[in-house]
Amino acid sequence: MPAKKAPKRQKEVEAEDSAALKKLKVSHKSHGQEKGLVLVLGQGDVGQLGLGEDVLERKKPALVNLPEGIVQAVAGGMHTVCLSDTGNVYTFGCNDEGALGRDTSEEGTEMVPAKVELAEKIVQVSAGDSHTAALTEEGTVFVWGSFRDNNGIIGLLEPMKKCTVPTKVPLDKAVIKIASGNDHLVMLTVNGEIYTSGCGEQGQLGRVPERFANRGGRKGLSMCYLYFNDCVRCSVTEEIILFFFMLLIFESMHYFSVLTSILSLLGSVFAWGMGTNLQLGTGEEEDLWSPVEMSGKQLENRVVLSASSGGQHTVLLVKDKQES
């Protein structure tokens, strides 16, 4: 009778899991595949338009000069993040709390696109009020910047401390999709699990009771905000959490409520909401109470692939119609 095989030690199992994770290449339908050009409009007083120090606003969409083709462009509160088809990340805009993930000590460098130093290929990015997140092709998430609550900075990896360069999220699960709200991050794993972190004052985390959701609660700051060192799983399905997440974005009292945009099947973009910063593309600063198609010279003979709105600006990813 053959001898029984000794059970694998815990360390061996963990090593095998780690090796398998490194070989994994994550994929999700939300990852940008089509290469396009980036157009911006609205206010650019802190560089969120990426058009240089001399351009502080644009009434109509303007083309951003980027060194590569872009597959995803997202607007944060006062910054913009672009992902290239080769997996590089470019940022521009306000860097007061590290949302650009790069050095901007030289005057004017925050006003134009520049590359964020990341060792791995990125397949998806997201941006909030003062933070940015990037997902690698191996399912790892990097973050930089800071979360905030109604009282100010609450930090990312440590209480009250911002991250000025990309920092790895210590999560031992492969992530396939990320999404940012104003001050929280949602991560979907390959196993269909949802992890959240950030500010939970309005229930954004989907797992923190109301009595703990404000500073001064019985459990204090560590329970309220559960940093990435203490990420916790939400026991809900992807469809539920994403629906809940979208409601939070559009019903929030913060910037995501000021502009709503929707793409038509023909690749046109319609916008409505607050227009005081020229972000609706009408050329006027008036609010719109019903959808109006966005227009402009840079949109002529082009198809809009995606649209993203920030606090005072809008970012569009487009391609020429002949490429359709």
Is the pLDDT score of 235 beyond 70?
no
DSSP string over 88-143: -EEEEE--TTSTT-S---STTGGGS-EEE--SS-EEEEEE-SSEEEEEETTS-EEE
Count other Cβ atoms within 10 Å, centred on residue 305: 22
SS3 content of the chain, % helix, strand, coil (to 5): 15, 35, 45
Highest mean pLDDT among 12-21, 91-100, 228-237: 91-100
Interacting residues of 263 by C-beta distance below 8 A, sequence separation 6+: 269, 270, 304, 305, 306, 307
Number of Cα atoms under 13 Å in the Cβ half of residue 51 = 19
Is the pLDDT score of 45 beyond 90?
yes
Highest mean pLDDT among 30-34, 164-168, 237-241: 164-168
Strand order in the sheet with 175-180: 175-180, 184-189, 194-198, 232-234
Provide the CA 136 distance to its chain's centre, in angstroms: 13
Strand order in the sheet with 79-84: 70-75, 79-84, 89-93, 114-116
CATH number of this structure's domain 25-256+306-313: 2.130.10.30
**Which residue bears the tokens 């203490």?**
230
- Give the SS3 label for residue 193: coil
At residue 259, the pLDDT reads: 55
Is the pLDDT score of 140 beyond 80?
yes
At residue 244, the pLDDT reads: 40
Mean of the pLDDT values across residues 116-124?
Answer: 97
Residue bearing the bigger pLDDT, 69 or 191: 69
107 in the Ramachandran plot: left (φ > 0), alpha (ψ -120 to 50) or beta? beta
Nearest to 112 by CA among 48, 45, 37, 52: 52
Average pLDDT, the chain: 80
CA–CA separation, 65 vs 218, rounded Å?
50
At residue 4, the pLDDT reads: 54
Mean of the pLDDT values across residues 224-249?
Answer: 41
pLDDT band at residue 6 under the 50/70/90 scheme: low
Domain boundaries, the chain: 25-256+306-313
CB 227 within 8 A of CB 155: yes
Residue bearing the bigger pLDDT, 298 or 17: 298
Number of Cα atoms under 13 Å in the Cβ half of residue 18 = 8
CA–CA separation, 64 vs 53, rounded Å?
13
